[in-house]
Amino acid sequence: MPLVDSQRQAHRHAGRGFVAAGAGLHGEQARQKAEQLAQLAEPALLLLTGTMVCGLVVMLYLPLLQLGEVFSQF
């Protein structure tokens, strides 16, 4: 029986190594995909933020410019 027990333990350890290697590979692939997605999303978010800031600036200055037109009529 000790031989059977040692073989069982050897198979358990080999299975753990295989699963751990597979999990490590999957984790590395997921990390690479996340980095690629971040590299693609960063410029898009930058453009979106710039567009929002420009919109806010226009919304703030537009009433001032219209007010200047009102005073220029007098």
- The 10s digit of each residue's pLDDT in 23-45 is 677 788 888 999 999 999 999 99
Q: What per-residue confidence (pLDDT) applies to 8? A: 58
Q: Give the whole-number percent of the chain exceeding pLDDT 90.
A: 36
- Alpha carbon distance 18, 49 (integer Å): 46
Burial 31-48 (b: 16+ CB within 10 A, else e): eeeeeeeeeeeeeeeeee
Q: What is the mean pLDDT of the chain?
A: 79
